[in-house]
Structure 1
Amino acid sequence: MALNNTPMLVPHLVVGDAAAALDFYARAFGAEEMVRLPGPDGKLMHACMRVNGSMVFLNDDFPEYNDGVSSTPAALGGTPVTLHLHGADVDGRFQRALDAGAVVVNPLEDQFWGDRYGVVRDPFGHHWALAESVREVDVTEIAAQMSSAE
């Protein structure tokens, strides 16, 4: 395996069933699987996929390597992190995620900041925001909208 010292920031997801997650992400978001490294018990120690042009790592939950604590969103009572997918045809991409088994957290709607935006939760508890820029909005208009919402 070639060494890669390219600077990068890669989200790393912990899931209860990494093999099923890889399949779901391919169906829901068009993820391209790059690496799958199973451990002796068959659980995935590491996997890598490309989603929307960016790498995402994931692995099965291994509480034994985390002070005996599970680190899946379900075990933690939810997730504080949202992965943001921006691009064309957000309506089609949102529906594709729902058809694959995601559930709506925030419905897809036109937002005051100029995006059509919605959030889904995948079957493993991770949140994914899907967005498409639909109109240009000046930052002062955005700030004014945010101020009036308080």
Structure 2
Amino acid sequence: MEAPQFPKGILPVLPVANIDETADYYMNSLQFQENFRQKSPEGQSVNAQLTLEGSTLMINLNPDKAPLEGGGVYLWVRLYEKNIDEYYNSLVEAGVNIADPIKDQFWGDRSFTIQDRNNFFIAFNQMIAK
């Protein structure tokens, strides 16, 4: 299977309690197209990427944040040129509030999440060379 493609720039992510129901709703009711649906090693859908007229949206299995007002929306920034570890260390050094420390993810990314001064969550991720 070909690796999922991520758009350059900022990717809005909607935390949801059920990926399959949400992705089907976006496709069947809102006319989005599915780019991919990702499953955990146990076979549970954990992410889906959807598009509509060139705009890309990611839905992420995160039942703890799904019921928050506004759905707990956060943003993903895909790094292509920066070294993610150096970038992470520079943010830690600058005193940035790290919500989730840097770690390797099972789907092949290395990522971390910050909480900015306005309490928005921004996740930074980079594909790990395999």
Normalized against structure 1, the TM-score is what? 0.40
Q: Which has the larger strand fraction?
A: 2
Tell me which structure has the larger Cα radius of gyration. Answer: 1
Q: Which has the larger helix fraction?
A: 1
Normalized against structure 2, the TM-score is what? 0.45
Which has the bigger relative contact order, CA under 8 A and spacing at least 6? Answer: 2
